[in-house]
Amino acid sequence: MIHFDNVTKVYANQNRPALDHVSVDVDKGEFVFLVGPSGSGKSTFLRLILKEERPNSGAIHVAGKDLARLSNFKVPHLRRRIGCVFQDFRLLPNKNVYENVAFALEVIGKPRRFIRKVVPEVVELVGLEGKAHRMPDELSGGEQQRVAMARAFVNRPMILLADEPTGNIDPATSIGIMKVLDRINRTGTTVVMATHDAAIVDSMRKRVVELEDGKIVRDQSRGVYGQAY
């Protein structure tokens, strides 16, 4: 589903590569934690999958597509198959829960009838039934992140990328968020989650890829966050 082959990314005006000859394979339906200290290249990894950045060398395949050969014109279609969740939620403050989720479908031109059908389903999937007409500032951090996940998942993407989704949320609420991610993963969606949260990684027992200074230092199925040598 995601295939990195010897990928190196050096940002302009920087000597040290953000990713240094990284090769990794993520299969369909997998759940992968991407761990490592700040600046280890986790976000660069996610940005490369979205083709927000281009690698300096190496090849990236996402959902069977060679990103180097994907024209700019087709990048939006790639992104429709990838959902994204961030630490800072990125909701629209002037739209309610329903409208925030529906926005993701409106802007890719889905018909209104389809939107009216699928949005309530997804709102329920993330556990926000009955709160569809709340505004984001009336919701807790955990609930806002659920809205963001509903928006990321509403178009049934093949891949869900989560960049520290629990970074702004207390540990108790984080468990709920992880349950939703797990539920999404069980529908067959590949999930890649970058995180600092050791407790979550340890409790989930999923595949762990650890980055340090742009290199993969550990790739372990059913891993934990800390040193497990």
Interface of this chain with other proteins, residues 161 to 200, rule: CB under 8 A: none
- Residue 116 as a binder of other proteins (CB under 8 A): the answer is no
b/e burial code for range 138-162 (CB count within 10 A of at least 16 → b): ebeebbbbbbbbbbbbbbebbbbbb
> Are 113 and 190 in contact, with CB atoms under 8 Å apart?
no
Selected from 16, 28, 54, 90, the binder of other proteins by CB under 8 A is: 90
How many angstroms separate the CA atoms of 188 and 157, rounded? 10
Cβ distance to other proteins smaller for residue 106 or 124:
106
How far are the Cα atoms of 26, 54, 219 from residue 222, in angstroms, in the given order? 14, 30, 10
- Residue 68 as a binder of other proteins (CB under 8 A): the answer is no
Instruction: Provide the residue type at 77 as one letter.
Output: H
- Residue 104 as a binder of other proteins (CB under 8 A): the answer is yes
- What 3-state DSSP class applies to 113? helix
- Residue 107 as a binder of other proteins (CB under 8 A): the answer is yes
To other proteins, the closest distance from the beta carbon of 111 in angstroms equals 8
- Residue 65 as a binder of other proteins (CB under 8 A): the answer is no
Selected from 25, 66, 106, 124, the binder of other proteins by CB under 8 A is: 106
Interface of this chain with other proteins, residues 126 to 165, rule: CB under 8 A: 151-152, 155
Element (H, E) at 193: strand 190-194
Pick the piece of the chain touching other proteins (CB under 8 A) from 18-26, 79-87, 121-129, 134-142.
79-87
Cβ distance to other proteins smaller for residue 12 or 107:
107
Instruction: Provide the residue type at 47 as one letter.
Output: R
- Residue 103 as a binder of other proteins (CB under 8 A): the answer is yes
Pick the piece of the chain touching other proteins (CB under 8 A) from 7-15, 38-46, 80-88, 178-186.
80-88
Query: What's the sign of the alpha-carbon dihedral 86, 87, 90, 96?
Result: positive
